[in-house]
Amino acid sequence: MQIWQVLLIILVILVGVLIALYFFGKRMQKKQAAQQEQIEAAKQQVTLLVIDKKRLPVKDSGLPQQVIDQVPRLMRRNKMPIVKVKVGPRIMTMVADEKIFDMIPVKKEVKATISGIYITDVRASHGKLEAPPPKKKGLRAKLFAWRDKTQADLNAANKTSKKKK
């Protein structure tokens, strides 16, 4: 076989994979839209007292076994945002939406929109919810910031030296 034949075969395989991913993504989008509709249909406002919140694997979360069995196998090892709350006289373990997990205050009462055991939105019962603290910069981000600052200083020094000449 010549090199162009090998490249043509690889190109055909790549195009086939891209087409498969396109249709798979479309199907997953439809599933997500259907799930979002179900969440919207079953949501209700509840006052919760947040006891604790953590990111835990599903098997260690304390969720009912029926819920753990419904989680896909690939997701069982991933850590999920788990919130332990008191709803009326009952203490329950719930799953929070990833977007709002950082906004949930611990040991405070909040008004939440829930759908089953899924917390979709949180508002303050008394006062305001505090914004989550800004995330710490990693080493890489710090190095890039230092590089940019140093480069800006060098550019400024070069401009002033050119003006003097």
pLDDT above 80 for 48: yes
> Are 49 and 94 contacting, i.e. CB atoms less than 8 angstroms apart?
no
Q: Is the pLDDT of residue 165 over 70?
A: no
Q: Check whether residue 33 and residue 97 sit in a common domain.
A: no
Whether 7 shows a pLDDT value over 90: the answer reads yes
pTM for the model stands at 0.65
State mean pLDDT over 141-149.
92
Q: How far apart are CA 103 and CA 117, in angstroms?
A: 18
Same domain? 56 vs 98: yes
Whether residues 29 and 95 share a domain: the answer is: no
Assess whether 36 and 108 both reside in one domain.
Answer: no
pLDDT at residue 159 tops 70: yes
pLDDT at 164: 67
Q: The CATH number of the domain where 71 resides is what?
A: 2.40.50
Does 49 lie in the same domain as 119?
yes
Domain total in the chain: 2
Q: Which domain holds residue 69?
A: 43-124
